[in-house]
Structures are given as C-alpha cells and as structure tokens.
C-alpha cells in the first residue's frame, strides 16, 4: 500500500489515494440511495465552489457518491441540513478517531457551507467492495432544496 500523509487541523492521516480514487471512479451512482433528499444532495454537488471540489478531490472522493447523506431537517433559512460521511482508504495517524459526541467542540475543517472531521471508530454503511483500511470523512452542511419534488 502506497500511502500519502496529509495534515488537516488536528489530524494527520495516511491515505491510499489510488485505491480510493479507483473505488469512486468505478462505483455506480445507481447503487446509491435514490430518495429525494439524496437526489437533492447530489444536485447540489453541481453547485460546489472550486475550493470545495478541490478539497474532495484531494481524497479522490466523488462527492455525489455516498457513504451516507442524512437529511436532518430545515434550518431557519429554509435550507436543508445534512450530515453524513464518505469512506476513504486510509488511517488516522494522529488526531481524534471518534467524533459523534464532540462534533461541535472539535477543530473542524470549514469550507463554504461545509464542516468536516475525520473518524475511524464508527465506520458504517460500508459498501461490500470498499478496500480496507477505512476512515470516514464526516460532514455537516446546510444546502438549498433545488429539485422539483417537494421537500418532505
């Protein structure tokens, strides 16, 4: 395994960019959830800034392909709050590995309307064909409802 070490805020992580990239390239969106909330999330990916796209690309993640996109509800501006994660082939060398109860107190990575953290203690919803070792890029974001179907 050829690993690349990258530092983000409090984390130093080692990534297998080749294997991660291969997974996201080969994975078929048709295999992901097709509910309205997930579809809306994917449509919003077309509106991401180049900085945000660049961030995802550093991991070789295609942001339209889940992990998990969870619709949390509407915020005061009528935007939809999502939380979720993407899987990455790699390990956390230094930094928090569990984020669930500490989300708001962590030194989160902030880009546009996204907040990110890494975790490896609660890996979930892993596709059968995803290579190991696995860490999760966790996110929280509020984005518009852009699709024709009504928000439920």
Q: Which residues here bind Zn ion, judged by CB under 5 A?
A: 33, 35, 38
Report the residue number, 3 or 33, with the smaller CB distance to Zn ion.
33
Q: How many CB atoms lie within 10 A of CB 12?
A: 15
What is the closest distance, in whole angstroms, from the C-beta atom of residue 41 to Zn ion in the complex? Answer: 8
What is the closest distance, in whole angstroms, from the C-beta atom of residue 37 to Zn ion in the complex? Answer: 5
Residue found by looking up tokens 């900085």 in the block = 51
- CA separation for the pair 136, 1 (Å, rounded): 18
What is the closest distance, in whole angstroms, from the C-beta atom of residue 106 to Zn ion in the complex? Answer: 26
Q: Helix H segments across the chain? A: 17-26, 36-45, 50-59
Residue 31 tokens read as: 């295999």
For residue 140, list its beta bridge partners.
83, 115
Report the residue number, 34 or 49, with the smaller CB distance to Zn ion.
34
Report the residue number, 60 or 64, with the smaller CB distance to Zn ion.
64
Report the residue number, 38 or 111, with the smaller CB distance to Zn ion.
38
What is the closest distance, in whole angstroms, from the C-beta atom of residue 105 to Zn ion in the complex? Answer: 28
- CA separation for the pair 21, 88 (Å, rounded): 9
């Amino acid at each position: 395994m050829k690993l690349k070490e990258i530092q983000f805020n409090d984390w130093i992580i080692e990534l297998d960019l080749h294997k991660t990239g291969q997974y996201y390239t080969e994975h078929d969106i048709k295999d992901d959830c097709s509910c309205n909330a997930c579809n809306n999330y994917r449509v919003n990916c077309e509106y991401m800034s180049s900085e945000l796209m660049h961030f995802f690309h550093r991991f070789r993640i295609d942001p339209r392909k889940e992990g998990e996109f969870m619709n949390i509800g509407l915020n005061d501006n009528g935007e939809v709050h999502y939380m979720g994660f993407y899987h990455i082939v790699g390990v956390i060398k230094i930094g928090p590995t569990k984020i669930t109860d500490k989300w708001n107190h962590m030194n989160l990575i902030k880009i546009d309307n996204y907040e990110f953290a890494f975790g490896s203690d609660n890996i979930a919803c892993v596709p059968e064909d995803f290579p190991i070792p696995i860490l999760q890029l966790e996110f929280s974001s509020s984005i518009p409802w852009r699709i024709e179907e009504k928000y439920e």
